[in-house]
Structure 1
Amino acid sequence: MKTLVPIAAAALLAGSAPALGASSSLTPADEAAAFKAAGFTLKGKQWRKCEDPSPAYSPGELSEVRDLNGDGVPEALITESSSFCFGHSGAAYTLVSKQATGSWKKITGGTGMVAVLPAKGKDGWPDLEVGGPGFCFPVERWNGKAYVLNRHQYEGRACRPGR
């Protein structure tokens, strides 16, 4: 099963782990380090990457925190919503991972609504479908160094963009 990160709300990542509260599974120090690794800045009480002045803006939030690749340390999916900054998709995501040293590292990120898929790439990292407007979405797979385009699909079926 897969679920998309809605534009202005948290999502559940696919799998058997229950959804965790935004900051319930990270210490305040880890939460701050995860946001900083994702490129966010704390402004007042909001983590921001986008400088959207509109009331429709939703600041960065921890949508999910869990071990995605089975290495025993958590990953955090951070989302932010703004059509001002992210166009028609209205959303952006950043996936960060806690390292063995205790620091956090950005793994991938982009514009769109991410869905974690059951298929896996190298080292147990799950494939990511990046949704947005349209009906044919890119699926990225971890190659050991980065998430790269693997295929396109819609509702689990292969498709070709633009057709």
Structure 2
Amino acid sequence: MIEPTTGSVITMAIRRLLRITQLGLLVGTLPAALATGGQATLSAQDQAAAFTAAGAAQTKGMWTMCADDPNTTGARVETVSDLNADGLPDAVIAEDGTFCYGFTGIGYAIVSKQASGQWRLMSQGAGIPSFLAARGAQGWPDLQIGGPGFCFPVERWDGTAYSLHRHEYEGKACSPPQ
């Protein structure tokens, strides 16, 4: 089996297309600005606070969540929206790389601006987050963590943290392989 190189233009284009599709179009929670052709963004101050809440550090002029990856391309803000309808921005921050994120090749952090102005880490891990219509406490959407395979974990916000709620594939319950 031939492995594509990390820097392969084709590999990077395919990953970008998958991220756009899974983090935006399939999510069903596109920010209104994106839906109308604009781009929802964070101020430089909010962006720095969001990266910090995600556990990222600024190294060599870029934010990184996986400091050990020798070939990191850095973390980026993938989407900005109001996931729980509280009137404050929430952001999905993503970073590519198999060094820290294994075969999935992508890590994520979901952060939320609080009424106090501080940013809070809501969920973080390896995989591709998709937001489902079902909701947990405080209006937070269920979170499906995609990756290789066909049976994905779905986490639900319980008011304190996202935790495993079920597994599903294409909207149907499933049992992950043991």
Gaps of 5+ in 1: 1-5
**In structure 2, which of residues 46, 51, 59 is the aligned counterpart of residue 43 of structure 1?**
59
Superposition RMSD on alpha carbons, in Å?
Answer: 1.8
SS in 1 for 2:74: strand
**In structure 1, which of residues 66, 87, 96 is the aligned counterpart of residue 81 of structure 2?**
66
- Higher RCO, 1 or 2 (CA under 8 Å, sep at least 6)? 1
Contact 1:83 1:89 in 2 (8 A): yes
Q: Output the CA distance in 2 between the equivalents of 1:39 and 1:70.
A: 24
Larger Cα-atom Rg: 2
| Cα drift, residue 127 of structure 1 | 0.4
State the one-letter code of the partner of 1:109: Q
**In structure 1, which of residues 85, 90, 93 is the aligned counterpart of residue 105 of structure 2?**
90
**In structure 2, which of residues 54, 57, 70 is the aligned counterpart of residue 53 of structure 1?**
70
Q: Output the CA distance in 2 between the equivalents of 1:41 and 1:16.
A: 27
Q: Output the CA distance in 2 between the equivalents of 1:7 and 1:110.
A: 17
TM-score (norm 1): 0.87
Gaps of 5+ in 2: 1-13
Contact 1:65 1:74 in 2 (8 A): yes
Aligned residue pair count: 154
Contact 1:15 1:118 in 2 (8 A): no
What percentage of aligned pairs have identical amino acids? 45
Q: Deviations over 1:100-155 (max 9, x none)?
A: 11111111111111101111111100000001111100000001111111110111
In the other structure, the counterpart of 1:32 is 48
Q: Which range is displaced more, 87-96 or 11-20? A: 11-20
In the other structure, the counterpart of 2:142 is 127
| Cα drift, residue 7 of structure 1 | 4.4
State the one-letter code of the partner of 1:17: P
TM-score (norm 2): 0.80
Q: Output the CA distance in 2 between the equivalents of 1:92 and 1:7.
A: 12
In the other structure, the counterpart of 1:3 is none
Q: Deviations over 1:63-106 (max 9, x none)?
A: 11111001111111101110111111111110111011111111
| Cα drift, residue 16 of structure 1 | 5.3
More helix by share: 2
